[in-house]
């Protein structure tokens, strides 16, 4: 019975609800840096009304991890040339930060510049305009490398 339940859980589809969206001057993937620290701009993160109260306690100057849904990515790509460099051998996407992967989640460590009602100015961030956001987590001060 337990085995059955676990098997079922292992393969069922999980449902994410966007909690906000990125508003950025970056509009195309080809113009976006691969990582935020590679010259990406700041952007706005607009939080959907239902999730606004989840922001209580966040402050300008804090470092957070924003989890996005990279909706322009391909989900049927399992190996890539790292950094899109054809001279590098094909590598499994779990060993790379390629946006193309079975579940195109993006991790972005950013600083909160300011908070205006339901909008957070954050950066630097390489996500393009319109990218859905699915979670925000604080960087843990007791474990600064996460």
| Of 48, 43, 46, nearest in space to 27 by CA | 43
What is d(CA 62, CA 58) in angstroms, rounded to the nearest whole number?
Answer: 7
Candidates 81, 109, 119, 121; binder of a copy of itself (CB under 8 A) is 109
* Least distance in angstroms from the C-beta of 30 to a copy of itself: 18
Residue 35 touches a copy of itself, criterion: CB under 8 A:
yes
Residue 83 touches a copy of itself, criterion: CB under 8 A:
no
Residue 99 touches a copy of itself, criterion: CB under 8 A:
no
| 51-70: contacts with a copy of itself (CB under 8 A) | 51, 53-58, 62, 64-65, 67, 69
Beta bridge partners of 47: 20
* Least distance in angstroms from the C-beta of 29 to a copy of itself: 15
Burial 3-31 (b: 16+ CB within 10 A, else e): eeeeeeeeeeeeeeeebbbbebebeeeee
* Least distance in angstroms from the C-beta of 63 to a copy of itself: 9
* Least distance in angstroms from the C-beta of 38 to a copy of itself: 9
Helix (H, G, I), strand (E, B) or coil at 137: strand
């Amino acid at each position: 019975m337990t085995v059955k339940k676990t098997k079922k859980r292992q393969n069922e589809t999980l449902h994410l609800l966007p909690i906000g969206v990125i508003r950025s001057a970056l509009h195309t993937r080809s113009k976006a840096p691969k990582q935020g620290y590679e010259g990406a701009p700041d952007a706005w993160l607009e939080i959907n009304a239902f999730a606004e109260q989840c922001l209580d306690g966040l402050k300008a100057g804090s470092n957070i991890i924003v989890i996005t849904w990279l909706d322009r990515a391909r989900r049927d790509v399992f190996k890539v040339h790292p950094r899109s460099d054809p001279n590098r051998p094909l590598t499994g996407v779990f060993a790379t930060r390629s946006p193309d992967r079975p579940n195109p989640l993006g991790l972005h460590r950013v600083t909160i510049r300011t908070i205006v009602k339901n909008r957070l100015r954050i950066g630097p961030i390489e996500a393009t305009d319109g990218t859905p956001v699915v979670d925000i987590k604080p960087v843990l001060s007791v474990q600064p490398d996460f």
